[in-house]
Amino acid sequence: MDITVRYEPAPEEVVRAVQRGLRGQLAALYAVLVSVLVAGAVVLFLLGDPTMAIALLVASVLGPLAGSWWLRRRLRKQLAFLSVPTTVRVMDDGYECRTDESTTAMRWSMFSDVVTTPEFWLLFVNKQPVAFLPKAAFDAAQQAEIAGFLAARDVPAR
């Protein structure tokens, strides 16, 4: 297999890919945050301070929402360098992304996991998202070839 395409991901597309890659870590972080805030609210109710307890309960609802909003905004700014014309080459031994400013090449053996979503192939090393391949960059035949290739690899895909 040797597929080469030229593609320019939109800023929102990059943010969606990174957020989707971080979904498991964000869910754990938000679960801990909400648990701590709810536990604090229970303690404050028991100590007779309902005003602060209610404030913590409100924060337990608004915290994850505000965190998601802040993360999207931050990612959009920090990852703007990825929203440029990019040449993506997918080969039997790995893949390569080239822009006017950088070249990234990785072998398939590096990846511990590949997550397939309707929009992306998310590539992980030790549960950390390290790259994504946007399906929109490839036509239907190329997508089918890549999906078949990834399914046949030793890299677990889910």
- Is-contact 34 42, C-beta < 8 A? no
* Residue pointed to by tokens 């409100």: 58
Give the separation between CA 50 and CA 44, rounded to whole angstroms: 7
Task: Compute how many other C-beta atoms are within 10 angstroms of the C-beta atom of residue 25.
Answer: 12
- Is-contact 33 106, C-beta < 8 A? no
DSSP letter assigned to residue 47:
T
Give the separation between CA 150 and CA 134, rounded to whole angstroms: 14
How would you class 116 by CB atoms within 10 Å of its CB: exposed for 0-12, middle for 13-18, buried for 19 or more?
middle
- Is-contact 57 37, C-beta < 8 A? yes
Give the separation between CA 73 and CA 52, rounded to whole angstroms: 29
- Is-contact 82 14, C-beta < 8 A? yes
Rounded to 5°, angle at Cα 23 from 141 and 103: 55
What would the pLDDT profile of 31-84 be if each residue is shown by its tens digit?
898 899 999 999 999 989 999 999 999 999 998 888 888 877 877 777 777 788
What would the pLDDT profile of 94-128 be if each residue is shown by its tens digit?
899 898 888 889 998 888 888 888 899 888 888 88
Q: Model pTM?
A: 0.68
pLDDT at residue 154 in the model: 57
The tokens for 45 are 């109710």
**Going by CATH, does the domain composed of 2-8+83-152 fall within 3.40.630?**
no
